[in-house]
């Protein structure tokens, strides 16, 4: 397993991010044949019957690791990746995209006035919002780290590797 070289306080987000990256890197090193994870589900207390298979977890964890290590994709690339097209509304013609964009601009003008009033009240609550998102990110990364450890453990059990 990759050794953490940086030392941060235990509950520091950077520690959680480094640990996640190290555990997923270890998972990638251990899982030599990812296709063996297809149609294999974690069976344990609290696991849902409809949970994704381990291969789905494996690919998701690797994708998230790239973003944790290298930063977020630019917004346009992320949208294109999600929708398979740079146009958010999935219309085949550029004219349809432009029409929808114009409608969106009109809606934005109306929303801008309302947003100004809401912005003032939101700014007063920025600290609470930050704490909520920060603690949520900490929790999610910790949960994903555990999933990466479970995928690694299950693969080792399946292949008879020493634990």
Query: pTM for the whole thing?
Result: 0.65
Residue 92 is assigned to a structural domain of this protein? no
**Judgement on whether residues 3 and 67 belong to the same structural domain of the protein:** yes
pLDDT of residue 55: 95
Q: Name the pLDDT band for 95 (thresholds 50, 70, 90).
A: very low
Residue 81 is assigned to a structural domain of this protein? no
Angle value at C-alpha 123, between 122 and 124, nearest 5 degrees: 90
Residue 91 is assigned to a structural domain of this protein? no
Biggest distance spanned by C-alpha atoms of the chain: 63
Residue 16 is assigned to a structural domain of this protein? yes
Q: Name the pLDDT band for 93 (thresholds 50, 70, 90).
A: very low
Higher pLDDT, 95 or 122: 122
- Average pLDDT on 54-58 reads 95
Strand, coil or helix: what is 31?
Answer: coil
- Average pLDDT on 91-114 reads 55
Higher pLDDT, 39 or 114: 39
List of long-range contacts for 76-83, beta carbons under 8 Å, 24+ apart: none
**Judgement on whether residues 134 and 67 belong to the same structural domain of the protein:** no
Task: Give the Cα separation of 92 and 80 in Å (integer).
Answer: 14
Residue 99 is assigned to a structural domain of this protein? no
Task: Give the Cα separation of 44 and 54 in Å (integer).
Answer: 13
Angle value at C-alpha 103, between 96 and 92, nearest 5 degrees: 15
Residue 152 is assigned to a structural domain of this protein? yes
Residue 141 is assigned to a structural domain of this protein? yes
Residue 85 clears pLDDT 50, i.e. is over it:
no
Q: In this structure, are residues 95 and 58 in contact, taking their beta carbons and an 8 Å threshold?
A: no
Instruction: Encode pLDDT of 127-155 as tens digits.
Output: 888 889 999 999 999 999 999 999 999 99
| Enclosing domain of residue 64 | 1-40+52-72
Residue 90 clears pLDDT 50, i.e. is over it:
no
Higher pLDDT, 55 or 8: 55
pLDDT of residue 59: 95
- Average pLDDT on 5-14 reads 80
Higher pLDDT, 139 or 9: 139
- Domain count of the fold of the chain: 2
**Judgement on whether residues 68 and 130 belong to the same structural domain of the protein:** no
Residue 21 clears pLDDT 70, i.e. is over it:
yes
Residue 118 is assigned to a structural domain of this protein? no
Residue 58 clears pLDDT 50, i.e. is over it:
yes
């Amino acid at each position: 397993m990759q050794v953490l070289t940086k030392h941060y306080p235990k509950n520091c987000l950077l520690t959680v991010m480094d640990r996640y990256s190290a555990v997923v890197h270890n998972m990638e090193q251990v899982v030599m044949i990812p296709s063996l994870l297809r149609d294999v589900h974690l069976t344990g207390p609290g696991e849902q019957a409809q949970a994704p298979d381990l291969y789905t977890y494996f690919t998701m964890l690797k994708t998230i690791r790239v973003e944790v290590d290298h930063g977020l994709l630019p917004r346009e690339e992320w949208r294109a990746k999600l929708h398979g097209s740079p146009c958010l509304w999935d219309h085949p013609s550029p004219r349809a995209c432009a029409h929808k964009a114009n409608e969106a601009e009109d809606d934005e003008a109306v929303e801008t006035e309302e947003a100004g009033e809401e912005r003032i009240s939101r700014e007063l609550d920025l600290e609470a919002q930050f704490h909520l998102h920060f603690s949520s990110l900490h929790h999610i990364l910790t949960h994903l780290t555990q999933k990466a450890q479970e995928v690694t453990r299950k693969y080792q059990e399946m292949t008879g590797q020493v634990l």
